[in-house]
């Protein structure tokens, strides 16, 4: 069957999960995940197209369970129904032969609820020729380098217990930088489900305006402590690093979490800090790949640790309720509450210090102490008396999170920015963050 | 796989296209991930992935379409989509690739021992369980995990210029980590700094030291828990191979990638402090520094016969006696820049296009045994096993952290220190190279997790390096 005659992704997944249900023998259970996309990718350099292509891919994650034993197999789907049934059948047979070789898993926890979830947000996206024309026109005279990704993303889940989830959303994400001839750059993103030519032109104009400041001679600072404002994109780098084990039940239990001292009461964060994993209104599915409905989770409330991200395995091992976290227990749609700072007073409140548009390449210099290091990058400025003076040469910081978002946090902006994930490792990701900017009384520069 | 290749060749020959050049790159990957954590076997994870990328060049403009539908109709549809896209982007295309001659190479590449059977699932679990059980009973040892990932990749490249390249490779990645906790601090020790990986068969597991390693790794985690913090100081720095590979990767490998120098990566992975005019001119490091692109070390992760554009791969010096000679750039980047390069146009899978990547990037051995390296240091520190890495977007200002540190005083190893970190600037750091270990200190390591590109790609790279000594480096410890 040619692709033009192939069933929709949903019909394909329904048919395969029904086939699997029928193929099951007494005593067997299954969980079946689906992941698929049809993506346009266009890469730009010097405001021209450097590389362009289209990727059509779909895969199943089959977990077979019997007598407390289980194993998983991920297989690529061809889109041809008969061939895909054969592949699923072959995968089922391989797992049937594998299970007797395994010991029962004491941390296996299956969701026996027959929940249903259905969300389809398939908005028409602009033809890529139209997007190219708009980008080309807006970028005239500019050194633009960036990446456009667009198309539908599908996620599904089915289980032998009768659960069935389907999530499908189309979206676009244009992430770009404008470079000044001196090597300084400003970064921008236009992403969502509805492409509006006027909104894109406005976003490009804002980036173009920032570029003018970058033409000033850059300021190189000596290492030391400085007042600083972290724009939402810079704060995003910090919370994304924190997502690497910070809220994970397993990392906390096994003493591998950067927030273990917060949970132990040995360190404190600012009472201004409220952080939530917010499923509603996000582009992420309302169910996990393990087959649990997801719900909003208050991770930090007024600086105090609250809920953790608990996968089914952690639930079984540590006696916690599973709450729809992914197996790797990282947040996918983090939201930080805004504060009282108005955008109009930001620079005045900063006074003398650093306006940091973006941070880059963060990592831990002492993970148990939540001490982290990273670089400034893109549209970062030296500010004096509330006025932008000069772009910053790239500088390295090294600070504890308990300082940055603890004792040194002066305030958060009222206005927040939504950022959709630009990650395309293996597949397009649909995570997001909604974050304010943060005013710090001190950021330690080291190099 | 022979049958799959035969079918694809037949179907490729039947495709029709009005473009001047088109190609197919098929990748099949079968993987398994096994692990035992604290004596409990985690469920095995298998994967079977296959698909193809069709690339088309129309009037010098290239585009691609990747599909998992490998039927003749599916391949034809992808080819037509790629052709239509190439025509659509032509008015805004950055590159005219007409001067680039398509490959006509034919060949076959196989990992050592690819046709030999690999240990069964039961045997692998038995090995992992034994290692897990070898971690001593100590309430401070709160977590340990031992695992074995194996991946078999078979690839076919065809084009309408007669090229036909096949490869069959098996990659083996053993891993072992132990975490110790004293109620306040925790310290984790990984065998090989979590950078163990080679091509081959069962012999890789033993060669990389997994068997019998658990007790020593656990003991080192406990030693770190009791150790003082690394002092803030300026010391000579002895880097062991499982940290040297990271130093090499981040501050030589990435800055020498030609697509970064040409600006393709400025929006994501970054640019480079190296300029196109630096090749043949820039003294990158001390005269002791010799760096090669070497796809000919059989067991190293990125050894191959041809890259993913069909260019033949061969060993080249990138840096000789400290002088920068040649960038890491494939045929297209060489055409764009007018510089020489290497065969490193690589894609991580069928669904991502080839770009300039590191492959095997090695430091050539010097003259000194490990004892001689230590003996030559008056006031220094040994660091091993990377655990943290951060570097600016031009690959210049860096800060790296290791799991394991030992002070060196008057030519002798002294006490263990925890949280060893150091920072520097690439363009100065390699100039401080003052001694290079001999072949007895060299290790062949690598990682499957080098990230780059838009769309993002994570790819395997190999690094072989001896231990090295750098003079007067800023070192410091953690917060505790």
Q: Do A132 and B88 touch (CB under 8 A)?
A: yes
A63-74 mean pLDDT? 98
A131-141 mean pLDDT? 94
Q: In this complex, which of A54, A73, A175 lies closest to B46 when CB atoms are compared?
A: A73
Which residues neighbour A227 within 8 Å (Cβ) at sequence distance 6 or greater?
A350, A351, A352, A353, A354, A439, A440, A441, A442, A443
Q: Do A132 and B92 touch (CB under 8 A)?
A: yes
pLDDT score at A125:
92
* Min distance B384 CA to chain A CA atoms (Å): 15
User: In percent, how much of chain B has pLDDT > 70?
Assistant: 100
Q: Is B428 on the interface with A (CB under 8 A)?
A: no
> Which backbone phi and psi does A176 adopt, to 5 degrees?
-145, 165
Q: Do B399 and A54 touch (CB under 8 A)?
A: no
Structure tokens at B215: 């007790």
Q: In this complex, which of B48, B121, B477 lies closest to A75 when CB atoms are compared?
A: B48
Query: Distance of CA B384 to CAs A292, B141, B240, B241, B400, Å?
Result: 41, 21, 5, 7, 11
* Min distance B63 CA to chain A CA atoms (Å): 5
Q: Do B264 and A45 touch (CB under 8 A)?
A: yes
| Pairing label, strands A409-420, A387-391 | unpaired
A90-100 mean pLDDT? 98
pLDDT for A426 beyond 50 = yes
A66-94 mean pLDDT? 98
**Residue by residue, what is the 3-state secondary structure of B264-279?**
CCCCCCCCCCCCHHHC
Q: Which tens digit of pLDDT belongs to each residue from A190-225?
A: 999 999 999 999 999 999 998 989 999 999 999 999
Q: In this complex, which of B44, B271, B389 lies closest to A363 when CB atoms are compared?
A: B389
Supply the DSSP symbol for B441. G
B462-470 mean pLDDT? 98
Q: Which tens digit of pLDDT belongs to each residue from B353-405?
A: 999 999 999 999 999 999 999 999 999 999 999 999 999 999 999 999 999 99
Number of residues that make up chain A:
447
Q: Which tens digit of pLDDT belongs to each residue from B88-138?
A: 999 999 999 999 999 999 999 999 999 999 999 999 999 999 999 999 999
pLDDT score at B141:
98
User: In percent, how much of chain A has pLDDT > 70?
Assistant: 98
CB A442 within 8 A of CB A403: yes
pLDDT for B480 beyond 70 = no
Distance between start and end Cα atoms, chain B: 55
* Min distance B116 CA to chain A CA atoms (Å): 21
Torsion angle, alpha carbons of B116, B120, B121, B125, to 10 = -110
B80-87 mean pLDDT? 98
pLDDT for A5 beyond 80 = no
Q: Is B388 on the interface with A (CB under 8 A)?
A: yes
Q: Which tens digit of pLDDT belongs to each residue from B26-75?
A: 999 999 999 999 999 999 999 999 999 999 999 999 999 999 999 999 99
Cα gap B224→B239, rounded to integer Å: 18
On chain B, the residues whose CB falls within 8 A of the CB of A48 are: 92-94
Q: Coil, strand, or helix at residue B106?
A: strand
* Residue of chain B whose Cα is closest to the Cα of A72: B45
Domains and CATH numbers, chain A: 3-213 (3.30.2290.10), 224-271+339-445 (no CATH)
Q: In this complex, which of B63, B185, B421 lies closest to A368 when CB atoms are compared?
A: B185
Residue with tokens 């102490």: A369
Cα gap A129→B403, rounded to integer Å: 51
CA-based nearest residue to B174, from B135, B134, B133, B214: B214
Other C-beta atoms lying within 10 Å of the C-beta of residue B397: 23
On chain B, the residues whose CB falls within 8 A of the CB of A105 are: 40-43
A315-320 mean pLDDT? 98
* Min distance A219 CA to chain B CA atoms (Å): 16
User: Where are chain B's structural domains?
Assistant: 2-226, 233-476
Q: In this complex, which of B268, B425, B480 lies closest to A366 when CB atoms are compared?
A: B480
Query: Distance of CA A42 to CAs A53, B57, B261, B416, Å?
Result: 7, 16, 20, 51
A1 pLDDT tier (thresholds 50, 70, 90): very low
The most distant pair of C-alpha atoms in chain A lies apart, rounded to whole Å, by 75
Structure tokens at A59: 């895969």
Q: In this complex, which of B51, B64, B122 lies closest to A53 when CB atoms are compared?
A: B64
Q: Coil, strand, or helix at residue B313?
A: coil
Cα gap B448→A408, rounded to integer Å: 38
Structure tokens at B176: 């072992």
Provide the mean pLDDT of chain A: 96
Q: Which tens digit of pLDDT belongs to each residue from A102-129?
A: 999 999 999 999 999 999 999 899 888 9
Q: Which of A375-379, B23-27, B324-328 has the lowest mean pLDDT?
A: A375-379
Cα gap A112→A399, rounded to integer Å: 45
Q: Is B415 on the interface with A (CB under 8 A)?
A: no
Q: Which of B59, B68, B82, B250 to mutate to test the interface with A (most CBs of A within 10 A)?
A: B68
Supply the DSSP symbol for B285. S
**Residue by residue, what is the 3-state secondary structure of chain A?**
CCHHHCCCHHHHHHHHHHHHHHHCCCCEEEEEEEEEEEEEEEEEECCEEEEEEEEEEEEEEEEEEECCEEEEEEEECCCCHHHHHHHHHHHHHHHHHHHHHCCCCCCCCCCCCCCEEEEEECCCCCCHHHHHHHHHHHCCCCEEEEEEEEEEEEEEEEECCCCEEEEEEEEEEEEEEEECCCCCEEEEEEEECCCCHHHHHHHHHHHHHHHHHCCCCCECCCCEEEEEEECHHHHHHHHHHHCCCCCEHHHHHCCCCCCHHHHCCCCCCCCCCCEEECCCCCCCCCECCCCCECCCEEEEECCEECCCECCHHHHHHHCCCCCCCCCCCCCCEEEECCCCECHHHHHHHHCCEEEECEEEEEEEEEHHHCEEEEEEECCCEEEECCEEEEEECCCEEEEEHHHHHHHCEEEEEEEEEEEECCCCCCCCCCCEEEEEEEEEEEEEECC
Structure tokens at A23: 């193929």
* Min distance B469 CA to chain A CA atoms (Å): 22
B408 pLDDT tier (thresholds 50, 70, 90): very high
pLDDT for B301 beyond 70 = yes
On chain B, the residues whose CB falls within 8 A of the CB of A145 are: 263-264, 266-267
Q: Count interface pairs A-B at CB distance under 8 A.
A: 254
Q: Is B88 on the interface with A (CB under 8 A)?
A: yes
Q: Which of B36, B89, B355 to mutate to test the interface with A (most CBs of A within 10 A)?
A: B89
pLDDT score at A282:
87
Provide the mean pLDDT of chain B: 97
CB B213 within 8 A of CB A290: no
> In chain B, count of helices (H) and strands (E)?
10, 24
Q: Which helix (H) or strand (E) holds B444?
A: strand B443-452
**Per-residue exposure over B212-240, b if at least 16 CB sit within 10 Å of its own CB, e if not:** ebbeebbbbbbbbbebebbeeeebbbbbb
CB B180 within 8 A of CB B418: no
pLDDT for A6 beyond 60 = no
Name which CATH class applies to B2-226.
Answer: alpha beta
Q: Which of B87, B399, B474, B477 to mutate to test the interface with A (most CBs of A within 10 A)?
A: B399
pLDDT score at A88:
98
A4 pLDDT tier (thresholds 50, 70, 90): very low
Q: Which helix (H) or strand (E) holds B75?
A: helix B72-89
């Amino acid at each position: 069957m040619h692709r033009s005659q192939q069933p929709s992704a949903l019909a394909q997944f329904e048919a395969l999960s029904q086939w699997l249900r029928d193929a099951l023998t007494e005593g067997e259970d299954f969980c079946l995940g689906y992941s698929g996309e049809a993506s346009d990718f266009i890469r730009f350099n010097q405001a021209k197209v450097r590389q362009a292509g289209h990727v059509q891919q779909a895969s199943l994650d089959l977990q077979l369970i019997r007598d407390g034993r289980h194993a998983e197999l991920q297989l690529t789907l061809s889109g041809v129904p008969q061939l895909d049934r054969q592949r699923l059948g072959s995968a089922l047979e391989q797992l049937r032969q594998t299970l007797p070789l395994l010991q029962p898993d004491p941390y296996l926890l299956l969701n026996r609820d027959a929940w249903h979830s259905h969300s389809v947000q398939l908005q028409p996206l602009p033809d890529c020729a139209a997007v190219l024309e708009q980008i080309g026109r807006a970028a005239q005279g500019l050194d633009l380098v960036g990446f456009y990704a667009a198309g539908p993303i599908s996620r599904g889940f089915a289980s032998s217990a009768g659960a069935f989830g389907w999530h499908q959303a189309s979206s676009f994400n244009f992430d770009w930088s404008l470079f000044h001839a001196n090597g300084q750059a400003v970064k921008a993103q236009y992403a969502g489900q509805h492409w509006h030519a006027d909104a894109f032109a406005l976003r490009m104009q804002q980036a173009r305006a920032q570029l003018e400041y970058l033409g000033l001679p850059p300021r190189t600072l000596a290492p030391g402590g400085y007042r600083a404002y972290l724009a939402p994109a810079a704060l995003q780098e910090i919370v994304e690093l924190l997502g690497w084990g910070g809220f994970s039940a397993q990392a906390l239990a096994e003493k591998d979490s950067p927030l273990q001292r917060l949970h132990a009461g040995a360190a404190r964060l600012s009472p201004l800090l409220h952080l939530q994993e917010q499923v509603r209104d996000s582009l992420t599915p309302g169910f996990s790949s393990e087959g649990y409905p997801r719900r909003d989770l208050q991770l930090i409330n007024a600086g105090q640790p609250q809920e953790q991200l608990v996968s089914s395995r952690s639930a079984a091992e540590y006696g916690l309720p599973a709450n729809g976290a992914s197996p790797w227990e990282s947040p996918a749609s983090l939201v930080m509450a805004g504060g009282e700072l108005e955008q109009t007073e930001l620079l005045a409140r900063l006074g003398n210090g650093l306006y940091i548009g973006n941070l880059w390449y963060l990592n831990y210099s002492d993970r148990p102490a939540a001490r982290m290091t990273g670089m400034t990058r893109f549209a970062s400025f030296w500010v004096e008396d509330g006025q932008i003076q000069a772009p910053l040469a790239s500088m390295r910081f090294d600070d504890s999170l308990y300082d940055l978002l603890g004792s040194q946090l002066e305030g958060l902006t009222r206005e927040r920015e939504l950022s959709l994930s630009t990650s395309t490792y293996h597949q397009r990701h649909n995570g997001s963050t909604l974050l304010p900017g943060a005013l710090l009384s001190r950021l330690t520069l080291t190099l | 796989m022979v049958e799959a290749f035969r079918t694809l060749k037949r179907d490729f020959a039947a495709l029709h296209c009005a473009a001047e050049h088109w190609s197919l790159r098929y990748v099949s990957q079968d993987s398994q991930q096994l692990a035992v954590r604290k004596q409990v076997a985690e469920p095995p994870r298998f994967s079977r992935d296959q698909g193809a990328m069709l690339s088309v060049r129309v009037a010098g403009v290239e585009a691609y379409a990747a599909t998992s539908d490998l039927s003749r109709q599916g391949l034809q549809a992808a080819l037509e989509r790629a052709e239509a896209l190439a025509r659509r982007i032509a008015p805004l295309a950055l590159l005219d690739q007409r001067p680039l001659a398509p490959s006509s190479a034919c060949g076959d590449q196989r990992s050592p021992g690819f046709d030999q059977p690999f240990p069964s699932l039961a045997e692998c679990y038995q090995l992992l369980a034994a290692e897990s059980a070898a971690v001593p009973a100590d309430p401070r040892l709160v977590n340990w995990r031992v695992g074995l990932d194996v991946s078999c990749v078979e690839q076919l490249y065809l084009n309408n210029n007669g090229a036909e390249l096949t490869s069959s490779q098996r990659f083996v990645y053993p891993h072992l980590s132990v975490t110790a906790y004293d109620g306040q601090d925790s310290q984790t020790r990984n065998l090989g700094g979590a950078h163990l990986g080679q091509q081959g068969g069962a012999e890789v597991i033993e060669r990389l030291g997994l068997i019998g390693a658990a007790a020593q790794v656990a003991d080192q985690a406990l030693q770190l828990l009791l150790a003082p913090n690394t002092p803030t100081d300026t010391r000579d720095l002895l880097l062991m191979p499982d940290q040297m590979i990271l130093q090499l990767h981040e501050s030589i490998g990435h800055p020498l990638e030609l697509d970064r120098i040409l600006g393709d990566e400025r929006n994501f992975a970054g640019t480079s402090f190296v300029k196109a005019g630096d090749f043949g001119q820039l003294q990158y490091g001390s005269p002791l520094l010799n760096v090669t692109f070497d796809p000919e070390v059989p067991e190293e992760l990125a050894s191959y016969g041809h890259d993913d554009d069909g260019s033949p791969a061969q060993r080249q010096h990138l840096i000789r006696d400290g002088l920068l000679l040649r960038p890491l750039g494939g045929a297209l980047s060489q055409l764009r820049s007018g510089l020489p390069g290497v065969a490193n146009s690589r894609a991580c899978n069928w669904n991502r296009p080839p770009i300039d990547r590191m492959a095997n990037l090695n430091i050539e051995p010097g003259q000194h045994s490990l004892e001689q390296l230590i003996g030559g240091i008056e006031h220094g520190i040994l660091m091993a096993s990377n655990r943290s890495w951060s570097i600016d977007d031009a690959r210049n200002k860096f800060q790296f952290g290791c799991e394991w540190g030992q002070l060196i005083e008057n030519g002798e190893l002294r006490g263990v220190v925890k949280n060893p970190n150091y920072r520097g600037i690439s363009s100065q750091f390699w100039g401080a190279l003052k001694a290079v270990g001999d072949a007895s200190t060299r290790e062949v390591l690598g990682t499957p997790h080098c990230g780059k590109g838009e769309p993002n790609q994570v790819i395997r790279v190999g690094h072989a390096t001896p231990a090295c000594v750098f003079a007067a480096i800023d070192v410091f410890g953690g917060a505790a």
